[in-house]
Structure 1
């Protein structure tokens, strides 16, 4: 499960990187950690407006949903969806065809369990630039968007430092971003992307344990740290 992201890039870097513009530029603030377990917003491009960066509440809720985010999350966690999840509840069954999004991030977090202790890892592109995460979205009764991140099977690289489950977020490279958001792209093609995720150049490093144990946040929280009994920091 992916429940914490990072989007630490400045607005100008994101807009230049993706050749898109924020719908509400004055609202954007870089965030070292976006915690999905509390009501948080993420930056997203949608099928309706692929060249506009909007905001969405992380934690998918049904179209035209009227009540609070917390009420729905208490009923069921909707931060992440795999392909089978999307074929389940009737309220999600058409979203993969009709409401695909690209959530912008600069990294996400994994966890390695060893000798009874959990070590947090920060994962990002090797060049540390922002990237897209595959997502789906809905529009709520008040007009806000909500979104869930799409996950896929974990590859051997990520499995070497994340052993709490077997899924990873689906990163969409810029080369197929337009195809992902194009309404004419077939569902078969989309499902094939999910089942066979594109390979990107990533790196991962352990970070301070306070991130996980005490939920402490400070300016250097994403910097690599060394653990005597854990020598895992690597690139693909």
Structure 2
């Protein structure tokens, strides 16, 4: 799964990677992004429009659920195209969620021991996401996850679906709606690019801080 991540790279740099304009108000660096908060996401409004950086609520609940449906933060890649709750968004409303890394916890560790997982070269990541209009008119999103790969699987059996550079444009393209076509055109990054290390248990409580010390090796 992916239940916490960090984003501290400048959004202008990330937006340029996919031909999107940077937002006027630069978001502050966040080292402990938690569900149920506003996060930066990139989506393409229409086939003729350029991608844009938008704020989305990290919690996916379609407008048609009328405020009573579940509000998942993740969607499994194995079922996102067929699950009734997600399939419309997968076909028509895909987004990228930029991050510099994410946190996972080893199961059954006491106290819960967090690990920070990122690229070995410290390059930013783009998580595959889906989004929907919520009942209040805002946008809400979920991060697509896949089975853990490479060293990330040593920490948790699930991880975000991290797209390689050649897949970013295809993932955003609103005119590509067929499941099999998306599957053929989209690739995840090489698992050998990923590494991890243990960090402070202060990560376990987002209210305790958002400083860069959270990603330092414990």
> TM bucket by the smaller chain?
0.7 to 0.9
2:151–2:195 Cα contact (<8 Å) kept: no
Q: Cα RMSD between the aligned structures?
A: 2.6
Q: 1:204 aligns with which of 187, 196, 200?
A: 196
Residue 216 of structure 1: aligned partner: 208
Q: Could you tell me how far apart the structure 1 residues matched to 2:131 and 2:83 are?
A: 16
Distance in 2 (alpha carbons) for counterparts of 1:6 and 1:84: 26
Unaligned runs of 5+ in 2: none
Match of 1:104 in 2: 98
2:53 corresponding residue in structure 1: 53
Instruction: Determine the C-alpha separation between the residues in 1 that align with 2:39 and 2:172.
Output: 17
- Runs of 5+ unmatched residues, structure 1: 226-236
* Structure-1 residue corresponding to 2:33: 34
Would you say 1:153 and 2:147 are equivalent positions? yes
Candidates 116, 132, 136, aligned match of 1:138: 132
Structure 1 position 175 matched with structure 2 position 174: no
- Within 1, Cα distance between the matches of 2:113 and 2:2? 15
- State the distance in 1 between where 2:170 and 2:13 align: 23
User: Residues 65 and 41 of structure 1: is their aligned pair in 2 closer, same or farther, counting only changes over 3 Å?
Assistant: farther
| Higher relative contact order, chain-length normalized (CA < 8 Å, sep 6+) | 2
Asked if the contact 1:64–1:139 (Cα under 8 Å) also holds between the matched residues in 2, the reply is no
Q: 1:139 to 1:128 in 2, by over 3 A?
A: same
Q: Which residue of 2 aligns with 1:232?
A: none
CA 214–140 in structure 1, closer or farther in 2 if over 3 Å, else same: closer
Q: TM-score, normalised by structure 1?
A: 0.77
Inter-partner Cα distance in structure 2 for 1:143 and 1:218 = 29
**Larger Cα-atom Rg:** 1
Distance of 2:89 and 2:210 partners within structure 1: 37
CA contact (8 A) 1:100 1:137 kept: yes
For the 8 Å contact 2:148–2:158, the answer to whether it is kept is yes
